[in-house]
Amino acid sequence: MPAAELLVTPTFNLLPPVFGYILAGILGALIGSFLNVVIHRLPREESIVFPNSRCPSCGAAIAFYDNIPILSYAVLKGACRGCKKHISARYPLVELLCALLFVAVAWHDGLSAALPFDFAFAAALLALVFIDAEHMLLPNAITYPGIVFAVVARLVVPYLTATPHFDDLPSLAHGALANSPIWLTSIVGGFLGALIGGGSLWLMGWTWEKLRGIEAMGLGDVKMMFMVGAYLGWRLTILTIFVGVLSGSVIGILLMARAGRKDMQMLLPFGVFLGLGAIAALLFGSQVAEWYAGQFR
Ligand SMILES: [Zn+2]
């Protein structure tokens, strides 16, 4: 056999798609396990690489065989092997959610060079959602690198994929930017999305502050939406804010009704709802935007 024939690249599409989804799910569970470390340690300003995973109660190092995503929690029945103290159900929940999220992203993207970028974006959102839910905080340690990541993705991804990938690129490429190189169109789209995302959140906070004289929204939400807007583009950013405000209002009103409060002073972790909105926009936004645009054609 000539040597050249040995170098023929294997055809991966012969593998059944189900195998790809299983791989995506396993990767998601592993990344979810890492996100647990990020979610626990970042707000406490601890290093996320050192030391190894420890029991939050007794501090005993967790052996690798007790650190298998989802499975170890089930085997150990949610208790530390050493001190038998209960371990928060958040740990397997984050792992399971991240696994499902990665399967959904793989379903959305298919076998695309954009897949690792969408995985990273979705994982960052999941970490922000859980940190904001617990601490009412969206750490700069995620949002700042997230903004840089979005800019890099904007420059690189259109050259890696056959389709434009970013939702806003087709509309921008037909407009004023028709004769621009794709990287310029892409970066302008990212800037526009960041301006709409960060700008509208800043405006909401500013208006609320003027009306009520209290600081309602932290700059964390603004920075988070700067990152989301730069990555998703203007259409999906508007959708993200719509879903975030709507779901946040509904949950907020329900919580206030339950607590018997009518003064609107109850603070909600808005980043949770914006994060869920951004995940929904990433997965289903393009279809929703197309459907909506179709109503006016
Ligand atoms: Zn323990």
- Residues of the chain below pLDDT 50: 1-10
Q: How far is the CA of 57 from the centre of ligand 1 (A)?
A: 5
What number of CA atoms fall less than 13 Å from residue 156's CA on the CB side?
Answer: 12
pTM: predicted TM-score of the whole model, two decimal places: 0.89
For residue 3, the model assigns a pLDDT of 46
Q: How far is the CA of 66 from the centre of ligand 1 (A)?
A: 12
For residue 139, the model assigns a pLDDT of 95
Report how far residue 201's alpha carbon sits from residue 226's, in angstroms, rounded to the nearest whole number.
9
Q: How far is the CA of 76 from the centre of ligand 1 (A)?
A: 12
Q: How far is the CA of 74 from the centre of ligand 1 (A)?
A: 16
Q: How far is the CA of 19 from the centre of ligand 1 (A)?
A: 36
Q: How far is the CA of 58 from the centre of ligand 1 (A)?
A: 4
Q: How far is the CA of 72 from the centre of ligand 1 (A)?
A: 14
Q: How far is the CA of 4 from the centre of ligand 1 (A)?
A: 57
Q: How far is the CA of 27 from the centre of ligand 1 (A)?
A: 27
